[in-house]
Every structure is written in C-alpha cells, then in structure tokens.
Structure 1
C-alpha cells in the first residue's frame, strides 16, 4: 500500500492515506484535532461516502433496476486511490470505476479528492465526473471526526450554526433508514451544547436548514470554524455510550427513506450527472 502523504502549512500539519484518500491526522501547533480511529469505539477517521450516504434497504442498491449489494456509505472509503498530484501543502488522489466497482454500481465515474492547507485552514474538495455514456446517479458525503473533548478544553463543547437557525431533526430507524417524521430541533438560536445522551438514538440528521457553516468549540480549546460547499444536509454523530469523538458531516445525500426501494436515484438528495458532466463538493475548517 502507498505511504501516507504529509502536508504542512503555517500552524497546521495533516496526513492523508491512499486507502479511501482519507484524512488521518490534523494537528494545530502540534495538538491533534482529528479522531485517531480507536477501534474500541470506531475505526474511521474521515471517510468519504460514495455512491451512497447511509444505508440502503437490506443493503441492496439499484441502478435502473439492476440490483447489487452495497454496504453502508458505499465503496469509495475502502478503495485504494491513486496519488495524482502533491506538493508541500496539498495533494490530490483519484479513483475511477473498475471491474470491482462496476460489479456493485455499473456506472462509469471519476473522483478527484484534494486536501489542501493554507495557513490555519484545511480545505477538502471532491469532484465527481461522469466518464461514461449513461446517467450517473449518486450521493456523496463527508464524515470527518474530531476529538471530543478538544485539546485543552476546560468546559462543555458546543456547536454554533452560523445562520442561527433551529433546523428540524430527523432520525434513523432500527434498520438505519431515514424515519418519516421530523422532530423538534435540539438547537436554540443556532446553539447546541454537546452531551453523550444526544447520540443514544444514533446520528442527529438535519436534512435542510443547518446552513453553509458552523463552529465547534469549547472553553480553553481551539475553535474550529467550518464551511460547506454544495452540501445542504448535515449529520452530527458520536458512538453511543460516550465515545471521545464527534463527527461533523456535510452531505449531498442521505440514507434511503423507510419503506423506499433500492434505486440510488430515488434516495433523498441524490444527484444524477449526464454523460460528460461533473460537479464539486467540499468542506473546510479554520483553526483559531
């Protein structure tokens, strides 16, 4: 397996693996901010979710009626990506369709994922291109996990939405599918104090209204200010039982609806690219 790529700029350092083109480390002045994947809780760190976000009914997806098995969050996070470009502060990995991917999702595609540092900011950008001759339905999401508590924290952590909104909450059912009802928002004037009991029913999902940015902070700790590009839904998740991480997850896609069929194109927030089309998604975090 290819070696991890190390990046540096200003007060930040980062490390990116070829497996999944997944961020492995993000340090600010030597302090680790990214969850380090302890398998006792959850072995992920910052996986990319493609071509689905969340679960499919009975772990089966379909493209134009052709059924295939697909596990939660798709296959890109477990694939070995190819390093296309790198410099001291940025790297780009690529993943294209193969016989292995076409066995579960028959459409041609090319993913390009760039991690770039500039001063105190990390930016992550993904381009999805349809390189085939048939429509490409897909969902895409980011799943970065951060230390909770943050380094140096002396008090409770909170998330503050930039838009000050109180978006409605959605939850998953016992099969990991999107339940039909919405629930009152846990945010008050855009503010949410994190506590383990928020995650006893799994992820908090906000299909709309959370806005294009938020901050994650705690007294005595660095403030992490996020911006999201082309990701209208937000997930916030930690493993039930008080796991020492919290995921801030911007998505353009969600789990299939309870009672829905397996077609990727019919999932909430799925997109379909025509042959030759491409689109981009991204997130960034500035540490201050």
Structure 2
C-alpha cells in the first residue's frame, strides 16, 4: 500500500503519496483543502507527475531509435511506487529509479526525483530527471495538479485565469488525444480567460507557446492562487465536463502531433538529455492566507 508523507508549516499542510509522488491534499490554516479529492465519478487523479511522456502517443506506442515501445498516456511514473529519500518538516523528496520492468517500456537508466517544499504560503513542486546511462535520453516531463473550481470561498463568483505576460497564446486542438497540426485563435483576451462550463467538452485547452512563466487562477473578488513555472514552456488547462476542478498543467513536452513524428525525440518540446546530465522542472503555487 502507498504511504503518505505530510509536510507543514504555520500556514500550509501538504500530503504526498509514495504512489507516483503525487500530492493528495493542500490545506491552509483555515482548514480549506484547495486540491481536488480524486472522486472516481470524475477523475481519480489529483496531481500526477508526467514522465517519460506528456500526453498520448499514436496507438499508445512510442518509437525509440525505430523500435516500438508500449506507453500509456502521460507515461508510467504516476503508476509507480517511489522511495522516500529525504524528509524534513517542510520538505520531502521521492525518487524513482530505472528497473528491469521500466527498461522494457523505456530503455534508459534514469532517476526521477520529485520534491515538495514549503516556504510560507508557497508550495514548490520540482522534478529532477537524471540520465544515468551512457547514451542520450529523450523524454517529456510535466505536472497535472487539479484545484477546486469553484475555489474555497469562491462559490457564485466568476473564475478567471490571467497570464502574467498578458499574451494571447494560440490554442492547439486535440484529435483523439493527439495534437492537431494547426493552431486556433486564442481564447485569452489580453492574457485573461474567463472560465465557463463547456470549454472542455472537446478535451484540454493546450497552449504550446507564449503562455509565459506565471499565471493567476482566481475567483473575482475572492480567493486567488498564484503560479510560477520553471523550465516549463507549455501550458494546458483541463477539466472533465461538469467536474468541480480545474487542472493547471505546465509541461516541457506535449502529446505527439496527429500524423506527425512517432519518435520520442522528435515529439514537440521533447528534451534529449546527454549521458550523465540532469534537468530540473518546477512550479510553485502561492495560497491565500
């Protein structure tokens, strides 16, 4: 059975499962839990970490150096048991290393470390990917946290996502889970997107470029969550139709394009990590206190 690690300070309490190193709860000092609860009626996820791919592969099959490998949407890390490798009152680090089983699906010697840490009202979630082999290693990495919609204290209020950069990034639609080869006009107006039911009837809103490195998710005239992104150039917003949550998903790497390259290294925004090197990807969210 998975184990739960709790970290906390005077204003925040975070619970993280050893299964997938996935956050299970984010509670402020007033007792409000801001994270989705994983209700299976809509979606059992809460805050999965995506590795070694983000999104889908055609027919759930990757090509690596021309050889096919079976790979489900968003990769296997979220379904794996991690080992707790560091823990303090306000920090925990879970680690997943390559095994014979993972090499059968993804033929690389990797180490994936996922760290949750607190600084006042701010939670930072960081993933470090290490290439422990002797050949270059392609992958995608991303985050998929789901926050309540409406936010605690935000019932009846208009909810808005506002990009820090004020941009109007074009949307890349999904076709059966794969990215279309064309872009559509942005739903943002000067960096502002008013959320409404029906926006996710055709799956996630994916913005491969120009969403910037920060945003605010808020109930107008009410609570707000402020996000910052590190080395995560792609953004998606998603909810199950009718579900009371919003996923704010910063990625480095996207789903394969419909009719596009099948090689993992040629997927949009794939990282190709040289032997012996590592890369860090992180987001932070600041809660109202």
**In 2, Cα distance between the equivalents of 1:43 and 1:105?**
25
Q: Which residue of 2 aligns with 1:272?
A: 272
3-state DSSP class of the match of 2:138? strand
Q: 1:128–1:145: structure 2 CA closer, same or farther, 3 Å change rule?
A: same
Q: Which position in structure 2 is the counterpart of 1:125? A: 126
Report the Cα distance in structure 2 between the residues aligned to 1:32 and 1:280, rounded to whole angstroms.
27
- Are residue 248 (structure 1) and residue 240 (structure 2) matched? no
Match of 1:161 in 2: 163
Cα drift, residue 181 of structure 1: 1.1
Distance in 2, matches of 1:39 and 1:209, equals: 33
CA distance in 2, matches of 1:2, 1:204: 32
Q: Which runs of 5+ in 1 are unaligned?
A: none
Q: Does 1:14 align with 2:35?
A: no
Could you tell me which residue of structure 2 aligns to residue 80 of structure 1?
Answer: 81
SS for the counterpart of 2:262 is: coil
SS in 2 for 1:198: coil
Task: Name the residue aligned to 2:205.
Answer: 204
Does the aligned pair in 1 maintain the 2:171–2:205 contact within 8 Å?
Answer: yes
Supply the distance in 1 between the matched residues of 2:220 and 2:171 (Cα, whole angstroms): 26
Does the aligned pair in 2 maintain the 1:152–1:220 contact within 8 Å? no
Give yes or no for contact 2:160–2:220 (8 Å, CA) kept in 1: no
Matches within 5 A, 1:1-288: 1-29=1-29, 30-153=31-154, 154-173=156-175, 175-219=176-220, 221-240=222-241, 242-288=242-288
Give the superposition deviation at 1:195. 0.6
Q: Once the 2 structures are TM-superposed, how far is the Cα of residue 222 of structure 1 from its aligned partner? A: 2.4
SS at match of 1:77: helix
- Secondary structure of residue in 2 paired with 1:188: coil
| Matched residue SS, 2:265 | helix
Measure the CA separation in 2 of the matches of 1:3 and 1:178: 36
> What is the CA–CA distance in structure 1 between the aligned matches of 2:2 and 2:249, rounded to whole Å?
27
Q: CA–CA distance in 2 between the matches of 1:281 and 1:227? A: 11
- For residue 63 of structure 1, report the CA deviation from its aligned partner: 1.2
CA distance in 2, matches of 1:127, 1:8: 22
Provide Cα deviations, 1:99-125, integer angstroms capped at 9, x if missing partner.
111011101100111000111000001
Cα distance in 1 for partners of 2:181, 2:65 equals 25
Deviation at 1:220, TM superposition (A): 5.4
Q: Which runs of 4+ in 1 moved over 3 A?
A: none
Tell me if structure 2 keeps the 8 A contact 1:111–1:126. yes
**Offset at 1:262?**
2.5
Give 5+ residue unaligned stretches, structure 2. none
Report the 3-state secondary structure (helix = DSSP H, G, I; strand = E; otherwise coil) of the residue aligned with 2:179: coil
1:10 Cα deviation (Å)?
A: 2.3
Q: Does the aligned pair in 1 maintain the 2:213–2:229 contact within 8 Å?
A: yes
RMSD: 0.9
Shift of 1:2: 4.3
TM-score (norm 1): 0.97
Q: Which deviations, in whole Å up to 9, do the C-alpha atoms of 1:45-101 show, x marking residues without a partner?
A: 000111110000110012111211110000000000000000111100000110111
**Secondary structure of the residue that 1:101 maps to in structure 2?**
helix
8 A contact 1:57–1:261 mirrored in 2:
no
